[in-house]
Amino acid sequence: MPAQIPNDAAPLPLTALTEDEKLFQSTVRKFAREQIRPHVREMDDAAHFRPDLIRQFFDMGLMGIEIPEEFGGQGGTFFQSILAVEELSAVDPSAGVIVDVQNTICNNALLRWATPAQKAKYLPRLAADTVASYALSEAGSGSDAFSLSTHALDHGDHFLLNGRKLWITNAAESGFFLLFATVNPDAGYKGVTAFLIERDFPGFQVGKKEDKLGLRASSTCELVLDNCRVPKENVMGEIGKGYKIAIETLNEGRIAIGSQMIGLARGALEHAIAYARQRKQFGKAIGEFQGVQFDLARMAIEVEAARLLVYNAARLRDAGLPFLTEAAMAKYYSSEIAERVASKAIEVHGGVGITKDYPVEKLYRDAKIGRIYEGTSNIQLVTIAKKLLA
């Protein structure tokens, strides 16, 4: 059976954190290892995330980390959100992405662009009990994010929205959706507008849930809008300026995907180390063989390099400094090394590594999406190259 990682074991290594950040990190780590880890396999097999664990996310304040205390949140930092996503993802990347989307995309967008009335209405709910989703992607708009077919028609005091959204994370559990539609298809990206949609709005429905390779406990669903009635006061930002909200929010979200991937990679490394200490061949632990030692050392180097990229981008964001290129680098590299480290962790385990009796095969499956969502690896390379050539 898998070698157990002690619940009080520190991450490998511990990089450049303040004492308060270390305390926050250790609290989330302890929760993840004690409360989430026993259910990871069951949730993955069932493709369902336990509602009681989501309830605990809210009770711990993990769903409203940056939301100000006046709205019921923690009044924390973006960097704390990154730490939380990393720690949860080291145990289960499906848990990490739930907290990621809530904090770094949805909550963050409302904090920056919502009106005072919108903040007063929705932020307390997002901090207390309402899961949120970010709905941009469609069948015909992936990397070409703004070729939207979902359209919004102005009907005086409300809009009627029609169309379908695909690949919407958290949708099965969500009660709130930050959704993008175009008010003028002929205007291209200049027609894109952001709408705040509640699950029980007339004409709104959560559709098919995808059966996925990885992140199986995290729901990914289709959204169906059939004359969905959205009050005018639920337009966020200016009409036709939703593209700015989408782009800037995704830039921050990419840092969070980086934290999910470094958490995943670190989890795979920790399992590989534990197994290398336990597994014996030729009369000694396989960790005593130089070939295995070199594999583990290279894995640790890559995890630490990715962590530094992610932490740097998050620190820049909190400092109000430009971080677009750094976010792209962090997302690109962390997703690349997550897949590589998870693969190598399976090799360290040998034949048992590909069985469901051991956790590394799941982490390997979970890693694949990192190079695809929130901007593919090629999109990140384009972003970086444009900056270099500017």
Q: For the segment 84-138, what is each residue's pLDDT rounded down to a tens digit?
A: 999 999 999 999 999 999 999 999 999 999 999 999 999 999 999 999 999 999 9
Residue 145 has pLDDT above 80, yes or no: no
205: confidence class by pLDDT, cuts 50, 70, 90:
very high
Catalytic residue IDs: 374
Q: Structural domain boundaries of the chain? A: 19-130, 133-240, 244-389
Architecture, CATH, for domain 19-130: Orthogonal Bundle (1.10)
pTM higher than 0.85 for the full model? yes
Q: Average pLDDT for residues 30-46, to the nearest whole number?
A: 98
Q: How far apart are the first and last CA of the chain?
A: 53
193: confidence class by pLDDT, cuts 50, 70, 90:
very high
pLDDT at 143: 80
Q: Which residues pair with 161 in a beta bridge?
A: 152, 228
12: confidence class by pLDDT, cuts 50, 70, 90:
low
Residues sharing a CB contact under 8 Å with residue 283, sequence separation 6 or more, in sequence order: none
Burial of 5 (0-12, 13-18, 19+ CB in 10 A): middle
Please check whether residue 32 is in contact with residue 93, taking contact to mean a CB–CB distance below 8 angstroms: no
Taking the CA atoms of 328, 330, 331 and 332 in sequence, report the sign of the dihedral they define.
Answer: positive
Taking the CA atoms of 53, 58, 61 and 64 in sequence, report the sign of the dihedral they define.
Answer: positive
pLDDT at 360: 98
Residue 16 has pLDDT above 90, yes or no: no
Decide which of 3.40.50.1400, 1.10.10.10, 3.40.718.10, 2.40.110.10 is the CATH code for 133-240.
Answer: 2.40.110.10
DSSP for residue 381? H
Q: Average pLDDT for residues 259-284, to the nearest whole number?
A: 98
The Cα–Cα gap between 218 and 63 comes to 15
Residue 297 has pLDDT above 90, yes or no: yes
Residue type, 325: T
User: 244-389 falls under which CATH superfamily?
Assistant: Butyryl-CoA Dehydrogenase, subunit A, domain 3 (1.20.140.10)
Token couple for 232: 């005018």
Residue 36 has pLDDT above 90, yes or no: yes
